[in-house]
Amino acid sequence: MKPRIVVPLVAAFCLGLFSASDAWAGDAGIVVPKLLPQPAQMVEKSGSFVVDGNTRIHADGAVAQTVAAQFAVMLPTSVSLQRKPVAGKTQGGIAFAIDTMQAWQSPEAYVIDIDANGVRVRAGDEKGLYYGAVTLTQLLTSGDAAASVRLPALHIEDAPRFGWRGVMLDSARHFQSVDDIKRLLDAMAQLKLDVFHWHLTDDQGWRFPVPGWPKLTTVGSCRIPSGDGGIDAATGKPAPYCGFYSEAQIRDVVAYAAARHIMIVPEVDIPGHATAAIAAYPQLGVSGQPVAVSSEWGVNVNLFNADEATMRFLEDVMGQVAKLFPGGYVHIGGDEAVKDQWKVSAKMQARIRELGVNGEEGLQAWMIARLERYLSAHGKRVIGWDEILAGKLPPSATVMSWRGAEGGIDAAKQGHDVVMAPAGDLYLDYLQTDSADEPPGRPSLVTLKQVYDFEPVPKVLDAQQATHILGVQANVWTEHMRTVARVQHALFPRIAALAEVAWSPKSERDYVGFLQRLPAMLPRWRAQGIAYAATPFQPTVASELQHGGVQATLREQLGYTLRYTTDGSVPTAASPMYYTTLGLPLPATLSAQAFFDGKPLGAVVTRTFTAASLLSRSDEELATCSRKLVLRLEDDGPRTGDRAIFNVDIFDPCWVWKRAPLAGIAEVQVRAGRIPYFFQLAHDEPSRVFKPAQTAHGELELRAGCDGQVLATVPLPAQPDADGFITLHAPLQNAPAGGDLCIRFTGDTRPTMWVLDRVTLMPR
């Protein structure tokens, strides 16, 4: 066979008509490599090698033996081979070796050679050899499980584009167990991600102990959730939400990460996001008055003061961090530090004058510079969010750019190292699809393609400035992630796109090729117990009542083939392929599923349509009037178990049913719930709007369009029913035959707000 370089497939093909196996010429039964991230270079050669129960693992030297043992553990049991590594150089089988004779591009570089004589994995450093083992694991799991795996003859030369390939997890807002953290680290290592940024302190919780400051964990690690979620139903007493990691647990996690060549970057946020620490020790705050650990989301105004005693506290904290985390970086936050308290504090204004700094931003810069000196003396570099650029920044400080790329561009031009993590592309608490099955989060989308298309090096930087871009990071803020399953849903599959952006050469990135390789990751994640998001792999269904029937439109988020049935059966690879809107007589049942290579990818989605069902819509199926700050929020109760979920614009709670079929409709029924308004808005407070109430508890108001004529007004009750909901009946007056139906609740949204659950049109 003529040697060839295997590159990503061109983007012109239609996924529904192209099979991944069509792209690979080889012997019958040969595995088609499905690797994530894509290697820098992969050359196909003539021949193959079979891995089966007779295949041995060989390791030359102590480092190779360590990696070989890890390879034997990470490889699924479905792959047959003799897993106990054999020491020494041996021909045949799978061989791992450190090669000091070759000049290596980086410590993370590796080479894999596969031919009829076996598999050889080489690198100049343990980290590179480990990544070679990861790639080989993916090669051996690129096909269906079988007693033997026939690998194609290959030569792979690989090294990462960026050294910083990171994921941030917020453990302050919601707490994850050590086992959950380890499962994430395993999945990161499988994708060659090597930085775990651990957000450990915030307004809602302090998650690690500091000697001499015991209340950080006895007080600061607990909060009382808002509403029913903070009440024990059996006793009626407050039910605190608590959690922190002991020193032993942190050391365990650090060692676990290090074995997988992942550096942990701990974050202690200063001077803002400090409420949990101030709740434990009020003297650390500006007023010195007691506060509670926050149960609200958003931007809290509480700041650390800049007194000498508080700075000594922060140095104690950083000393503990330096002791527990051996990595080279400590993240000191610096974001969203609203300076209102400092501005009105005579003590802080005197401190500004005493230090001779330039106002409040200068005071924050002074605090950062002092902690930078302390950490530098302990062998650490400071990294912070891009707000730290507002004041004079120590030359060694690294900037994490989250408010777009601008902060990173500014920092790189000033000579600072940069990690690109813009919210609009890499904040994974943003929802990844517009499916009604998405869990709570921010309905502003960050899709899989958006993550994949992100380019970490801005074009405006010259070659020298571009060298300051250390890499890229995706962030997971957990306000709305009460369970680890929701964390995993947010991360996966988008974490795979991040990995390819961070590792693969820019020239080798191809989204269509990525989508062909992505399905191979799904069984790997399932084997690890990862609850990856099903929503990108399943169709969404939109429907409208037309001409006495239903017009149903299917959409698959990633472009895989959709097949459907209308007889109630489960779609198969032989079912009709979906091309365009379906017109179906009522009643109708539509089932649809995504397929790739003839195999189903996600769950079957089934919708049953009747004349009545088409006159009812949930909040997820409605638009919001202004989209100022739309959130997908969870009900406040019950304390444990499933809760209702609502789409709501917290700045302007107003919903709209576009092109509502109002002809012949006598009444609109609105099922509404009520939740606590648990948001701190700081300087965004003026953006919040609501219509004043005309009656004691406000009204449900229906309009023809958001600014059109009033169609109905119904007074709201003082309280919902016992189940937390109320159904309101609104007779229509002079309703147009069609047009937008706007639904709004009047009255202030504090301390509780009404939210829409379902709207139903009732015919005459």
- Do the beta carbons of residue 654 and residue 744 sit within 8 Å? yes
Instruction: Yes or no: say if 567 and 608 are a contact pair by the CB < 8 Å rule.
Output: no
181 alpha carbon, distance to own chain's centre: 14
Give the DSSP H or E segment for 233: none
Report residue 673 as tokens.
């719930």
CA 60, 66, 67, 70 torsion: positive or negative? Answer: positive
Task: Dig out the tokens for 209 from the structure.
Answer: 């102990």
Q: How far apart are CA 586 and CA 124, in angstroms?
A: 67
Please give the structure tokens belonging to residue 416: 């600072």
Contact in structure between 296 and 229 (CB atoms under 8 Å): no
Judging by beta carbons within 10 Å of its beta carbon (0-12, 13-18, 19+), is residue 485 exposed, middle or buried?
middle
Cα separation, 605 vs 436, whole angstroms: 12
Under a CB-based contact definition with an 8 Å cutoff, are residues 249 and 178 in contact? Answer: yes
Residue 399's closest CA among 413, 383, 381?
383
User: Per the residue annotation, which of 174, 273, 331, 480 is the catalytic one?
Assistant: 273
Q: Distance between alpha carbon 580 and the CA centroid of its chain, in Å?
A: 32
End-to-end CA distance of the chain: 75
Please say whether the beta carbons of 188 and 265 come within 8 A: no
d(CA 164, CA 469): 9
Q: Which of 252, 336, 434, 748 is catalytic?
A: 336
Active site residue 174: no
CA distances from 179 to 141, 250, 507, 678 (A): 24, 12, 37, 30
Q: Which residue has the tokens 């995993």?
A: 488
Alpha helices in 553-663 (DSSP H): none
The 3-state DSSP class for residue 231 equals strand
Q: Is 201 exposed, middle or buried (0-12, 13-18, 19+ CB in 10 A)?
A: buried
Rounded CA separation 503/497 (Å): 10
Q: How far apart are CA 410 and CA 196, in angstroms?
A: 25
> What tokens does 515 get?
């989508």
Total Cβ atoms within 10 A of residue 405: 22
**Are the C-beta atoms of 128 and 64 separated by less than 8 Å?**
no
Residues sharing a CB contact under 8 Å with residue 146, sequence separation 6 or more, in sequence order:
none
> What are φ and ψ of residue 344, in 5° steps?
-95, 0
Q: Active site residue: 60, 113, 125, 202, which one?
A: 202
Please give the backbone phi and psi of residue 55, each rounded to the nearest 5 degrees, phi first: -75, 135
d(CA 54, CA 118) in angstroms, rounded, equals 12
Do residues 27 and 49 lie in contact, with contact meaning Cβ atoms separated by under 8 Å? Answer: no
Give the whole-angstrom CA distance, residue 219 versus residue 278: 10
336 flagged as catalytic: yes
DSSP E strands in 185-254: the ranges are: 195-199, 201-202, 205-206, 222-223, 241-242
Tell me how crowded residue 556 is: count the other CB atoms within 10 A of its CB. 22
How far apart are the C-alpha atoms of 699 and 364, rounded to whole Å?
46
Chain centroid to CA 695: 43
- For residue 399, the cross-strand partners are 384, 418
Grouping H, G, I as helix, E, B as strand and the rest as coil, residue 336 is coil
Instruction: Give the burial class of 379: count Cβ atoms within 10 A of its Cβ; 0-12 exposed, 13-18 middle, 19 or more buried.
Output: exposed
Largest CA-CA distance found in the chain, in angstroms, rounded: 88
CB 648 within 8 A of CB 631: yes
Token reading at 522: 């799904």
Q: Which residues are catalytic?
A: 202, 273, 336
